Structure 1
């Protein structure tokens, strides 16, 4: 087991270095370096060998089907470290359009308890189920649930063996380290039938008031070239839900900043949209239940090979999957070591009325808190344009800055240089004037 510790001299340097885009933490570098293409290859081939991982579980023989797959995934988690608390997470679902009979969808969960903030969790997940979508004869595009559930071949290597391999590989590597916060690794079931496993998990998390700070859903990262020959070009998409300064958007910006610092050859393409056009994924239920959640996916899906028998190992790029795994790993690890994000108060203009005054609070201060950074950008800029390290104060004034023209936020930084998510101050949504012809109905801010 490796502890994330630095010498006293390095601690001070790390705090200063945090203000630089080139600051790298030795433990995060090690996590990235320990990701193994051979292990990812082995995982993908094993997942493919189950034949089908359809959630309905119609076909179940030794070594074949979704039950065998989830038992193998649980055994893998257990083999990595005794510190991983492994369990099955079942959720009862009724017969529906894609569920052929009442059944349980069963997630596989591995929990790596945090040392100083064990009640705060960061989660990385991917659905392990697969599907070979079959349509009714003579009626194109009319889904045949029974035939689909009974298909014996649904390899699902890219969708979503690739994401499952990432989750397993990060559990293997990161379980050898200690983190401040708890890291949860989840293989979700029932995604292809309507985000069922993730939906059950997210609902339970909200009801039990879990402090789930971030959810990174990884779905379809197997391909680095599309069916029409377009290359990924050294990038991966990270989707985040509106509004512009939602907690999910803050998580996406965080991943871009951290991951590109450690792995500049893989660009984080932040897509400011909840998901791909007209589609959804397992991060969606977490958004619905009020958690910060993003989707990580390749920009170069091979759509013609999804949800059929052709989604096989020979069509995926293991080096690309490994590269995405490193980026997600350093993002997850950095967030698991970071302080809690502060809460911000309404902005002020100062005594002279021409300044920008920020105030914030951070309850239950961590003993290794070094201070805070104030960040700023124009209202039309997608990313933070300026950062000022202000120390341990909980108030800062930006002279001659109009709060009408900028977005301001703050984040906490610890003595090892790990930074929290940014908390931005945003105005609540106002209702449109009811007398305005054609005015759209206002919706509450999430």
Structure 2
């Protein structure tokens, strides 16, 4: 076991030497951009995304309960076209329907339905068991209200073009499958168009539950939902910003994925700003990443900050009211993140098998002693990066490249006032997700007592 001790004097609680106004970043190669990832990002085509949006609009409705037998209209025609598009991109893509027979239930599932997710798998070369999921829902909805003002959920055949919600996410998934399938990656990439989102996240729930039952290792889920508008209903525009939602707590796997999206997305798409929203989804609403959260997977939602509620779930959610240029920028962020993760080493393990963090106070009792495990390290592994931040900071504030070791000591740094993490990096600069040291909750104590009886 290789051990490194860093002796740092006059540290603040952040671990910065006195007098420094900002962290000193290491010149190690992990800070470089990967030219392969740059090529992938550049290959994303706005023209193709626009074509996909127009085609999805042409089905008139993609309601989950619309007629599945019509050759050019409805959910059946749409899923067949998505299937054929995915199959045309590369012979290496394994395309299939993930089919479920769902019973009538609740308000929105007004009859039994055969639900089909469309799945395309690009197998990895070195770590095929580890999966990166890129997804969106392809079903659409137009709300019809009765004379009493209540939603009539039986109206399943009305015009529901759903270009922004969520043709935009579907078009992104298709374009990502087209471009990424021309490359080889260490990990497996999975592209999914879910059905049944508008009926309560049905398709994604059934997929995520089966993935957990099968013991699938899903390292990240990038859910794209409503990435097609750049002007909100009140006229506000944020056409160079994308929101990324991630569930609490502060160092959940999903929160680490969100931070990764910001770091890598802004590195490869500098025209865009990734704004982290520390909430599972928009207030009182949901998306297809949530079932993966429920199954313990790291999953985030990418969405526009410029929603136009007048067009959502209506006949006016059309191509004329969408922005292919904005969808393209968000798709490029997806491409950078998915490619980087699929090329990167697996994250180190920073806890024991019982879940206790491998973090202590060192021999002096006043240090931060970090340890980690990395079984079967990749042959191109360059080493590890220790990351640090104040407990109240939203993102990592300092990085230290420590090389190919599996422990590191920061003398004079309190583990009580700083949050730590470790990530792996290969010689091409591809970084894993950060594995954060999480303090497990202290169990609630119960004590047996023998209280004296009350005196009469």
Counterpart secondary structure, 1:185: strand
Deviations, residues 242-267 of structure 1 (Å, cap 9, x unaligned): 11000000000001000101111100
Query: Which of 261, 278, 282 is equivalent to 1:272?
Result: 278
Map of 1:150 onto structure 2: 157
Map of 1:99 onto structure 2: 109
Counterpart secondary structure, 1:320: helix
RMSD: 1.5
How far did 1:57 drift? Answer: 2.2
**Match runs of 1:9-24 below 5 Å:** 16-18=28-30, 20=31, 23-24=32-33
Distance 1:91 1:61 in 2: 20
Counterpart secondary structure, 2:77: helix
**Match runs of 1:69-80 below 5 Å:** 69-80=78-89
**Match runs of 1:39-438 below 5 Å:** 39-58=48-67, 60-96=69-105, 97-137=107-147, 139-140=148-149, 142-147=150-155, 149-151=156-158, 153-345=159-351, 346=357, 347-431=359-443
How far did 1:105 drift? Answer: 1.2
How far did 1:62 drift? Answer: 1.9
* TM-score after normalising by structure 1: 0.91
Question: Unmatched 5+ residue regions in structure 1?
Answer: 1-13, 436-446
Distance 2:232 2:347 in 1: 38
Distance 1:293 1:212 in 2: 9
Distance 2:409 2:38 in 1: 36
How far did 1:92 drift? Answer: 1.7
Distance 1:388 1:373 in 2: 5
Counterpart secondary structure, 2:242: strand
Deviations, residues 352-381 of structure 1 (Å, cap 9, x unaligned): 111000000011211111110100000000
Question: Unmatched 5+ residue regions in structure 2?
Answer: 1-25, 352-356, 448-456
Would you say the 8 A contact 2:119–2:193 is kept in 1? yes
Would you say the 8 A contact 1:15–1:417 is kept in 2? no
Distance 1:406 1:47 in 2: 49
Distance 2:392 2:28 in 1: 29
Map of 2:4 onto structure 1: none
Distance 1:104 1:203 in 2: 18
Map of 1:32 onto structure 2: 41
Distance 1:206 1:268 in 2: 29
Distance 1:60 1:303 in 2: 31
Map of 2:10 onto structure 1: none
How far did 1:431 drift? Answer: 5.0
Would you say the 8 A contact 1:411–1:419 is kept in 2? yes
Counterpart secondary structure, 1:63: coil
Map of 1:3 onto structure 2: none
Counterpart secondary structure, 1:309: coil
| Higher relative contact order (Cα pairs below 8 Å, separated by 6+ residues) | 2
How far did 1:430 drift? Answer: 3.0
How far did 1:136 drift? Answer: 2.2
Distance 2:362 2:29 in 1: 31
How far did 1:432 drift? Answer: 6.2
Distance 1:216 1:15 in 2: 30
Taking a change above 3 Å as real, the CA distance of residues 414 and 59 of structure 1, as seen in their structure-2 partners, is: closer
Distance 1:403 1:233 in 2: 40
* TM-score after normalising by structure 2: 0.89
Would you say the 8 A contact 1:238–1:268 is kept in 2? yes
Counterpart secondary structure, 1:136: coil
Counterpart secondary structure, 2:394: coil
Would you say the 8 A contact 2:425–2:431 is kept in 1? yes
Distance 1:146 1:383 in 2: 46
